[in-house]
Amino acid sequence: MKRYRNICWYSALLGLFCVLGIGSISATALDKDQFSKDRKVLLQRIKTINQILQQTTSKKALNTGQLTAINKKIESNEQLIGSLSKELQVVNAQMAQKEHKIQTLQAELIQLEEEYAKILFWGSKSMQHINVLVFIFSADTFQVLLQKLSITKEYVKLRKQHFAQIKKTELQLQHEKKHLTNKAKRKGLLLHRRQCEQTGLQESKTQQQELIGVLEQQQGQLTKELHQHNAAVKRLDKLISDIVKKELALAAAAKKAAATAQDSNKPANRAAQAISAAGKLLSTRFAKHKGKLPWPVKKGFISNKFGRRAHAVFKNVQVENLGIDIQTEAQATVHAIFDGFIKTVSFVPGMNYVVIIQHGQYHTVYAKLSAVHVKVGQVVHMKDFIGIVSTDNNHISELQLQIWNGLEKLNPALWLTKEPE
């Protein structure tokens, strides 16, 4: 009976152990999608810059366009290296987590094997002089017989459960070791990629410094080009300002006329009110597309940002941009970034052909075109073809894009999607 109590005691202890269980540790998988998407975008951007840079350098004339492209390439390389470093940090953290899990599982496996050995030892020791059937049928009553039968079955069940738990832990341990090996390989690839990008970055920086040194010696020519550019910017600014001021004056006059009931009944004023309502609707639609507007060219990068900044070569010289310049391929086609109608087609010295599209109270401006394929008054829709980018004497193909809200100049980079589609 004492042996019987030993079996019951250890069975109860083992039952409690099994109820508490060994919680399986699920592996947290790294979501690589975002890293892959970011890397793909950056690599495509660098590829585009290299293509444009190759077109420019093939002409053998050193110019600020090449410097701008190299600067953008350096910026993209640094972003790519930053992305790779961030991904490496995540992989390292996950590897440390995996190693901790493996150590935990190994400790649990040792404990499970020790406990299983105790089950076998105590079971064997307690039952070695007892015939199981005799033990069961030695019961004085039928109720006691059922209890003894239940205890025997429970003992066998617990042994099976414990053995199954050992096998499960072994499999999980193998699974975690496999994941750790895969992450170690991935870490090696990331380190190699980052090293290659750092080498390429250093080469680009060396090329940048050499080009700056050459361009600094051309100060007279660059100063002349800068003055010509500033004059062209002023001419374009006046053209757009005059158009917008005229539009605002007409809108104010129409609003004033519509304020009197008598005037509002006139056909001309009713038509003006209808046009005004359509313009407001178009303005609202345009505003809702902030950050979602397509690029006006299929390939390219922002070579000159919006607002005031230091000159690419002479850091003590400030230049101002009323929009953004997008450096692209030669003969690149230009497309409208939103629905509207052609307000103006003009030729501005230094800016070549200029197309202005009205979108209610907003206007988009496309300058530095070599050819225009739209007419004043023509209705256009998003992505409609409007012209071709011009290539200047330095063999730089660049589009000037501006966005105006009334007389307020907006930063087009905040209105476009992150990358050309």
Asked if 329 and 277 count as a contact pair (C-beta separation under 8 A), the reply is no
Per DSSP, 295 falls in state P
Residues of the chain with CATH 2.70.70.10: 220-414
Query: Can you give the pLDDT at residue 179?
Result: 79
Integer Cα distance of 384 and 36 in angstroms: 32
Say what the pLDDT of residue 11 is. Answer: 43
Q: Quote the CA–CA distance of 110 and 104 in Å, as a whole number.
A: 10
- Six token digits for residue 333: 């086609």
Q: Cα-flanking dihedrals φ and ψ of residue 66, to 5°? A: -65, -45
* pLDDT 10s digits, 77-123: 888 888 888 888 888 888 888 888 888 878 877 877 777 777 666 65
Retrieve residue 341's tokens: 């109608």
Other beta carbons within 10 angstroms of residue 219's beta carbon come to 11
3-state secondary structure at position 363: strand
pTM of structure: 0.66
Q: Give the Cα separation of 159 and 156 in Å (integer).
A: 5
Sign of the CA dihedral with 216 first, then 218, 219, and 221 last: negative
pLDDT band per the 50, 70, 90 thresholds, residue 12: very low
State the DSSP code for 382: T
Inter-residue contact 394 to 69 (CB < 8 Å): no
For position 5, what pLDDT does the model report? 42
Tokens of 285: 């639609």
Find all residues with CB under 8 Å of 135, minimum gap 6, and list them. 4, 127, 148, 152
| Res 60 pLDDT > 50 | yes
Question: Hey, which residues does 304 pair with through a beta bridge?
Answer: 325
Q: Is the pLDDT of residue 141 over 70?
A: no
Distance (Å, rounded) from C-alpha 359 to C-alpha 132?
93
Residues 6+ apart with CB under 8 A from 279: 360, 361
- The span from the CA of 136 to the CA of 27, in Å, is 46
- Cα–Cα distance measured from residue 26 to residue 94, given in angstroms and rounded to the nearest whole number: 12
- Return mean pLDDT, the chain: 78
Q: How far apart are CA 53 and CA 182, in angstroms?
A: 38
243, 357 in Cβ contact below 8 A? no
Please, what's the largest Cα pairwise distance for the chain?
118
Amino acid (one-letter) located at 99: E
Dist. CA 216–CA 368, nearest whole Å: 26
Q: What is the mean pLDDT of residues 326-334?
A: 94
Joined together, the tokens standing for residue 63 give 């110019």
Q: Over pLDDT 90: what percentage of the chain?
A: 29
Spelled out in words, what is the top-level CATH class assigned to the domain 220-414?
A: mainly beta
- Is the pLDDT assigned to residue 169 strictly greater than 80? no
Predicted local distance difference test score (pLDDT) of residue 188? 82
